[in-house]
Structure 1
Amino acid sequence: MTLGTPSVMPGHPAAISDLLRGTDPTFSFEFFPPKTERGERVLWQAIRELESLQPSFVSITYGAGGSNRTSTVSTTDAIAAETTLLPMAHVTAVNHSVAELRNLVGHFASGGVRNILALRGDPPGDPQGEWVAHPDGLRYAAELVELVKSAGDFCVGVAAFPEKHPRSPDWDTCTRHFIDKCRAGADFAITQFFFDWRDWVRLRDAVEAAGVNVPIIPGVMPVTNVKQIEKMAQLQGSEFPSDLADRLHAVADDPEAVRAVGVEVATELARKLLDEGAPGIHFVTLNKSSATREIWQNLGPVPVARS
């Protein structure tokens, strides 16, 4: 079976959970919705270039506080209608009432989108600021999982944090919250990006020890811009390894050299994760295709879609 070909009846959208039950790892990409016309062109160039790899699925992120909700919805709709790709929509609880969330989920269902990543979301303006629930909304991602599940035949994913969520007081507390989301009905999870494969193994083992058997897909981001990745890692509370930082800063004035290091490190990380039994790899593309395509080629025949 070729990469990304789901084993479902024609006309029926595949559930990511079904793909994960296959014998081979999934291989997927994350995009973010564009804010400008140029950004729109860059995104669709990346989508078309990566579409040829036949990934298992793709996802479209949701801005803090729903700041780019309209663009997220329209991009998800277009991918579902105009490409061969299987889209997963991100939905966040922040700044939305329960009624708005139900309408949004219903909209995706009407367009044939049945895979949703349920997230509490970051506060608007300052991702590390105080999180305030909508007066008619939800407080926790586990509640959003339950809402989506109650709305119909959806496959629901949640976020996982191998190094802990930046708002959590410690790793054990963060992991307990993650297990709560799984027990609320999550079908799978996708992690924030990280750099040490042992963090993913520790999370997987802790979840399995708690009697929870939810596939945790590691998120991997190839480094192509040093300052950008360092800032993103700081915002999400990820440890940026000092040895990697040293390698990147040594070639910081050479974009091609930075990219080469980033591709090498991401390839090694993805290969190790797959060797350790990861159910797939979810690549954060930053709406660029070349680095992801090169990693895919480096991995060779390993990352093919589950049948």
Structure 2
Amino acid sequence: MAQNDSTAFPVSFEFFPTKTAEGAAKHVNVRQELYARKPEFCSVTYGAGGSTQEGTFRMVQAIQDEGVAAASHFSCVGATHAKVREELAQLQTMGVKRIVALRGDLPSGYGLGGEFQYASDLVAFIRKEFGDWFHIEVAAYPETHPQAKSPDADLQAFATKVKAGADSAITQYFFNAYYRFVEGIQALGIQIPVVPGIMPITNSSQLMRFSDATGAEIPRWIRLRLQAFGDDVASIRAFGLDVVTHLCEQLRSQGAPGLHFYTMNQSTATLELCRRLGL
């Protein structure tokens, strides 16, 4: 069913930890601009092997202090039960109520190790140790996780995360395939909200690089148009806004439960998308 009141349609924003004091100071302004859209929450990413944990928790704390609900990404690969318990307790003490539970990637040069193998192991551990304190988000891959053996195996892996206690999911960004994924999990009896992840198009080379790394398919017509613009940044951004606005309108009209914007720590494109969508 379509969402009638566009102003009430849930949105959330994703940030990554800043690396310098100057970057942190600039990002305060970015967050304040985006807060005007009244996000349900803002999430902060977590580097490979927890490599950005300090920066992640610092930004999560800042968002909480600014009066907005923060969600910490949390990866488990290579970690021990004791370490994860300690870090989750720290988030609980900070008043964080939402976790984006991920398997994650180890930094290059590390073996697998650790006491968690899959994100579902982390979800089950959080539920066992912390009950219902945390709302647990998990990742969804409409075009199939790059390391999955098959689309069916990927759907089963998602189902395992849900059975372990996941409350909702956020997708990898995409330009198609969302409803095929939703229909696939519904056929397995899964009814949790699956929120589309939205990537604003502002830089064609960056988009191509991310998509090649994550397996997100860029439709041929979009790729060709972006290539035709060459270095014309203004045309790329104008085209990108049109494409992503149309995608969001389709998702909203067909019943998507919300939109999660990958902001890349910038506000301009996401704000314009929200304005066009009447959010």
CA contact (8 A) 1:122 1:131 kept: no
CA contact (8 A) 1:160 1:191 kept: yes
**Superposition deviation, residue 296 in structure 1:** 0.3
Q: How does 1:92-107 map to 2 (within 5 A)?
A: 92-107=75-90
Q: How does 1:258-297 map to 2 (within 5 A)?
A: 258-297=236-275
Question: Counterpart of 2:27?
Answer: 43
Question: Counterpart of 2:98?
Answer: 115
Question: Which amino acid letter does the alignment assign opposite residue 33 of structure 1?
Answer: P
CA contact (8 A) 1:219 1:281 kept: yes
Matches of 1:85 and 1:262 in 2, distance apart?
29
CA contact (8 A) 1:138 1:144 kept: yes
Question: Counterpart of 1:220?
Answer: 198
**Superposition deviation, residue 32 in structure 1:** 0.6
Structure 1 residue runs of 5 or longer lacking an equivalent are 1-22
Question: Counterpart of 1:64?
Answer: 48
Q: How does 1:1-307 map to 2 (within 5 A)?
A: 25-81=9-65, 83-125=66-108, 132-134=112-114, 137-152=115-130, 153-196=133-176, 199-300=177-278, 303=279
Matches of 1:49 and 1:71 in 2, distance apart?
21
**Superposition deviation, residue 55 in structure 1:** 1.0
Matches of 1:217 and 1:133 in 2, distance apart?
31
**Superposition deviation, residue 252 in structure 1:** 3.0
Matches of 1:147 and 1:24 in 2, distance apart?
34
Residues 1:78 and 1:203: Cα distance change in structure 2 (over 3 Å): same
Question: Which amino acid letter does the alignment assign opposite residue 257 of structure 2?
Answer: P
- The two structures, once aligned, show a CA RMSD in angstroms of 1.7
Question: Counterpart of 2:4?
Answer: none
Matches of 1:105 and 1:151 in 2, distance apart?
9
CA contact (8 A) 1:88 1:116 kept: yes
* Aligned-partner SS, 2:92: helix
The TM-score normalised by the length of structure 2 is 0.93
**Superposition deviation, residue 145 in structure 1:** 0.5
Structure 2 residue runs of 5 or longer lacking an equivalent are 1-6
Residues 1:259 and 1:176: Cα distance change in structure 2 (over 3 Å): same
**Superposition deviation, residue 25 in structure 1:** 3.4
Matches of 1:220 and 1:238 in 2, distance apart?
12
Matches of 2:23 and 2:202 in 1, distance apart?
17
CA deviation map 1:81-117 (0-9, x unaligned)? 2x12111110000232111111111111101101001
**Superposition deviation, residue 24 in structure 1:** 5.1
**Superposition deviation, residue 31 in structure 1:** 0.5
Matches of 1:125 and 1:51 in 2, distance apart?
36
CA contact (8 A) 1:189 1:215 kept: yes
CA deviation map 1:147-178 (0-9, x unaligned)? 11223211111000000111112211111101
**Superposition deviation, residue 231 in structure 1:** 1.0
Residues 1:271 and 1:133: Cα distance change in structure 2 (over 3 Å): farther
The TM-score normalised by the length of structure 1 is 0.85
CA deviation map 1:45-104 (0-9, x unaligned)? 2111101111111100011121211100111111112x1211111000023211111111
Matches of 2:206 and 2:108 in 1, distance apart?
18
CA contact (8 A) 2:42 2:63 kept: no
4+ runs of 1 displaced by more than 6 Å? none
Residues 1:84 and 1:123: Cα distance change in structure 2 (over 3 Å): same
CA contact (8 A) 1:183 1:212 kept: no
Number of equivalenced pairs: 271
**Superposition deviation, residue 298 in structure 1:** 0.6
Matches of 2:111 and 2:250 in 1, distance apart?
36
Question: Which amino acid letter does the alignment assign opposite residue 245 of structure 1?
Answer: R
* Aligned-partner SS, 1:96: coil
CA contact (8 A) 2:116 2:122 kept: yes
